[in-house]
Chains A and B, each alone.
Chain A
Amino acid sequence: MKILTANRLTDGEAVWFSTDHRWAETIDHSEIASDKAGEERLEAIGHAGLANNEVVDVNLIDVQLVDGEIRPTRLREQIRAAGPTNRNDLGKQARPAVSRAA
């Protein structure tokens, strides 16, 4: 399973391509590619995002579903999705859990 991630050009914010077809600031509603065709589709979206100067550093990353929630396989991506592990007051983890409730 893979999802598409990048950083937003203007401010570098970590973003993920979501099921509602936008670059979202949280990982929760990312569009998941479960097969080669899905990955290729996401890759094309990533290329387009880079080409239209919306995002930079576009990557497909491995994820799994844990209790219905998307969880990146690599620690690096877990940290991108949450924020620095030593500072709970920074990054996505510091925000009200609006998206989780949604």
Chain B
Amino acid sequence: MYRYDEFDHDFVKARVAEFTDQVERRLAGEITEDQFRPLRLMNGVYLQLHAYMLRVAIPYGTLNSRQLRMLAHIARKYDKGYGHFTTRQNIQYNWPALSDMPAILADLASVEMHAIQTSGNCIRNVTADHFAAAAADEVADPRPYAEILRQWSSVHPEFSYLPRKFKIAVTGAERDRAAIQVHDIGLHLKKNAAGELGFAVYVGGGQGRTPMIAKKIRDFLPEEDLLSYTTAILRVYNLNGRRDNKYKARIKILVHETGVEELTRQVEAEWEALKDGELKLPEADVRAIEAYFAPPALVARPEGDEAVKTARLDSRSFGEWLDQNVLTHKNPDYAAVTISLKGIGEVPGDATDSQMEAVADIAEKYGFDELRVSHEQNLILPHVARADLKAVYDALVEIDLATANSNLISDIIACPGLDYCALANARSIPVAQQISLRFASLERQRDIGELKLKISGCINACGHHHVGHIGILGVEKKGAELYQVTLGGSGDEHTSIGEIVGRGFGPEEITDAIETVVDTYLRIRNDRTEKFIDAYRRVGAAPFKEALYGSEAKAA
């Protein structure tokens, strides 16, 4: 994985020193809250309901065991023994003291981590397919390009005060596991007919209060033009984005209001002036960055097939975990493993300090020291020999992280919601827990099949509800929580925004409503091979409305 060079080390160290000084001056009363707030936000420090919150960047979700152990250490020493992995492939701590922030950031810097640009109107952590370098269907590893974008965008003088925050995602496979079409810029790394690498470029996607699917403005951008073209997009946005209205300030609104044709023309015109300049990526530099991401030397482990076959006969639960949480790897002797942070009735994305340490041990012992955080709030071991899968499974059972529910209804994405978040209008976590408990039976979940359920506690949509096959949005109505259900959303290569199915449900009703939706799907599906999203796309919302609202739906 990428290692800091001297420049990176000095840069992060200087930032820690700078923010340490700012914190000290704030605590000494030398600067006011109004002066300090933008400074703390630039360093990932928020104020939530119960305490400060620190959001730590995990670039493109890639970690090693040393880094994960440090995250565990921070959770134990400065927080309350756990961390929350987020839909931005980051980790958040919910209880750190402001006075401890300098020490935490120094600890993070010691393992090449930081919290820079995890907040504010700048280019945020660049996200990527969590199965990068492992997935069998990948054209090339998207992370070298995410890293190039990270280096280019870190304290970029022109793009540090954008009209609003800016999120970029990169995928290297046709199967989009990075939800690129709901990002400000989505990059699909692919090869052209000549076998050269480049990108399909999508612009103006996003969720929040005005969900939009990104528009493809270029089908193939040569690799060497990545930064010049991205700069052109950012420059057009920076100049023309709506700074007059926070709710209209994202690039998706600019794309919508300008029209994709005109916006593309503007970007291309800007790019004409930039493309042959200093932003053109030198081939040698790209290959040098790529070398950092070279997959580990995967020695032949042909005994894996037999080992897995035998172990499967021995243990039904291992077999279920294999079926659900293990992905085909490029190398037939290996597999990519999803470590579910969605135990039945647990908080989606939370991991304790000791779980993090144990996962770090597993990664070191069986996973070539590589880990990923997925935007679906799980951890990934991208390279595990099939021969070691049973040992990994047994180790995960020990720490209660072997739930075999990847992509099933209990693999729920949920934002922190009103239990923690100052922006939230309703709780998300307890709703996720109730639904998880209702569908606790793995047999039932497997019968239902792939179903992505996503919950947000406010319209900002951190829980990605717009692209959930079933989405739940918590709102506050007359002082009480109310949950709106959306159906038919999807965040993959066939991205769609879910449609609101009807009036909302109270906290006591929402789990029943979800069960009604699921039962309706089971009734109308052609057969077990027709997934929820496919059945919904075939029949539309009508049978679900009928089941949820009965005659009320007909009258409407």
User: A residues engaging B (CB < 8 A)?
Assistant: 7, 9-14, 50, 52-53, 56-57, 73-76, 79-80, 83-87, 90-91
CB of A86 within 8 A of CB of B347, answer: yes
Interface residues in B60-101 by Cβ distance below 8 A to A read: 80, 95-99
Residue in B closest to A90 when the chains form the complex, CB atoms: B80
A contact patch SS: loop
Are A86 and B51 interface neighbours, CB within 8 A?
Answer: no
Contact B27 A11 (CB under 8 A): no
Per-residue A-contact encoding for B24-61, CB less than 8 Å = 1, 0 else: 00110100110000000000000111111000000000
Are B49 and A79 in contact, with the CB atoms below 8 A? yes
Residues of A within 8 A of B347 (CB): 86-87
Q: How far is the CB of B137 from chain A (nearest CB, A)?
A: 37
CB distance from A82 to the nearest CB of B (A): 10
Could you jot down 12 A-B contacts, CB within 8 Å? A9-B27, A11-B97, A11-B98, A12-B52, A12-B95, A12-B98, A14-B51, A74-B479, A76-B49, A79-B49, A84-B419, A86-B419
For B430, what are the chain A residues with a Cβ–Cβ distance below 8 Å?
Answer: 85-86
Q: Write out the residue numbers on chain B whose beta carbons fall within 8 Å of the beta carbon of A52.
A: 29
Residue B429, interface by CB 8 Å: yes
Whether A50 lies near B33 (C-beta < 8 A) is yes
A76 touches B418 (CB 8 A): yes
Cα(A89)–Cα(B27), bound, Å: 29
- Closest chain-A Cβ to B391's Cβ sits at a distance in Å of 32
Would you call B50 and A11 a contact (CB within 8 A)? no
Shortest Cβ distance from A58 into B: residue = B33
Residue of A nearest to B30 (CB): A53
**Are B481 and A84 within 8 A (Cβ)?**
no
Closest to B34 in A: A50
- The answer to whether A7 and B429 have CB atoms under 8 Å apart is no
Cβ of B131: which chain A residues have Cβ within 8 Å of it?
none
Whether the Cβ atoms of A79 and B51 lie closer than 8 Å is no
- Identify which of A7, A12, A75 contacts B418 (C-beta below 8 A): A75
The answer to whether A86 and B429 touch (CB under 8 A), given A53-B29, A76-B418, is yes
A-B contact count (CB 8 A): 77
- B545, CB-defined interface residue at 8 Å: no
User: B427 at interface (Cβ–Cβ under 8 A)?
Assistant: yes
Contact across chains for A85 and B427 when beta carbons are under 8 A apart: yes
A57-B47 in contact (CB<8A): yes
Which residues 172-223 of B sit at the A interface, judged by CB distance below 8 A?
none
CA–CA, A23 and B332, complex, Å: 62
Query: Which single residue of chain B is at the shortest CB-CB distance from A77?
Result: B49
A7 and B51 in contact, given A50-B33, A53-B29, A86-B433 (Cβ under 8 angstroms): yes
Complex Cα distance A52/B48, Å? Answer: 21
Complex-state Cα separation, A80 to B52, whole angstroms: 13
Within the complex, the shortest CB–CB distance from B452 to chain A, in Å, comes to 22
Chain A contacts for B99, CB-based, 8 A: 10-11
Q: With A and B bound together, what is the CA distance between A57 and B194 in angstroms?
A: 58
Q: CB distance A80 to B50 under 8 Å?
A: yes
> Is B271 an interface residue when CB atoms closer than 8 A count as contact?
no
Measured in the bound complex, the distance between the Cα atoms of B347 and A56 in whole Å is 29
Tell yes or no: B420 within 8 A of A by CB.
Answer: yes
Take A52-B29, A91-B50 as given contacts and tell me if A10 and B98 are in contact as well, using a CB distance cutoff of 8 Å. Answer: yes
Complex CA–CA separation, A52 to B27 (angstroms):
11
* Complex interface: chain A residues within 8 A of B424 (CB): 76
Q: In whole angstroms, how far apart are the Cα atoms of A62 and B48 in the complex?
A: 19
Which residues on B sit within 8 Å (CB–CB) of A74?
479
Q: A21 to B29: give the CA distance in the assembly, Å.
A: 21
Q: Which residues of B contact A12 (CB under 8 A)?
A: 47-48, 50-52, 95-98
Apart from the given pairs A56-B47, A84-B420, A91-B50, 8 other A-B contacts in the complex at a CB distance below 8 Å: A10-B98, A12-B47, A12-B96, A56-B33, A75-B427, A80-B50, A83-B50, A86-B429
Q: A76-B418, A86-B429 are in contact. Are A10 and B97 (CB under 8 A)?
A: yes
A17–chain B nearest beta-carbon distance, Å: 17
A12–B111 Cα gap in the complex (Å)? 26
Bound state CA distance, A85 and B420, in angstroms?
9
Contact, CB under 8 Å: B33 / A85? no
Contact with A along B441-456 (1 / 0, CB 8 A): 0000000000000000
Once bound together, how far apart are the Cα atoms of A75 and B418, in whole Å?
9
CB-CB contacts below 8 Å: B395-432 with A: 418-420, 424, 427, 429-430
Q: How far is the CA of A88 from the CA of B430 in the complex (A)?
A: 12
* Cα of A11 to Cα of B29 in the assembled complex, Å: 15
CB-nearest residue of chain A relative to B31? A53
A87 to B433 CA separation, bound complex (whole angstroms):
12
For the complex, what is the distance from the CA of A90 to the CA of B352, rounded to whole Å?
14
* 6 A-B pairs with the lowest CB-CB distances in the bound complex, closest first: A11-B97, A12-B51, A84-B419, A12-B52, A53-B29, A86-B429
Using known A-B contacts A13-B51, A80-B50, determine if residue A85 contacts B419 with beta carbons closer than 8 Å: yes
Which of A80, A84, A91 has the largest count of B CB atoms less than 10 A from its CB? Answer: A84
In the complex, what residues of A have CB within 8 A of residue B47's CB? 7, 12, 56-57
Q: How far is the CA of A86 from the CA of B430 in the complex (A)?
A: 6
For A7, A86, A87, which residue has the most chain B Cβ atoms within 10 angstroms? Answer: A86
A29 to chain B, nearest CB (A): 19
How far apart are the CA atoms of A33 and B17 in the complex, in Å?
44
Is B429 touching A84 in the complex (CB atoms < 8 A)? yes
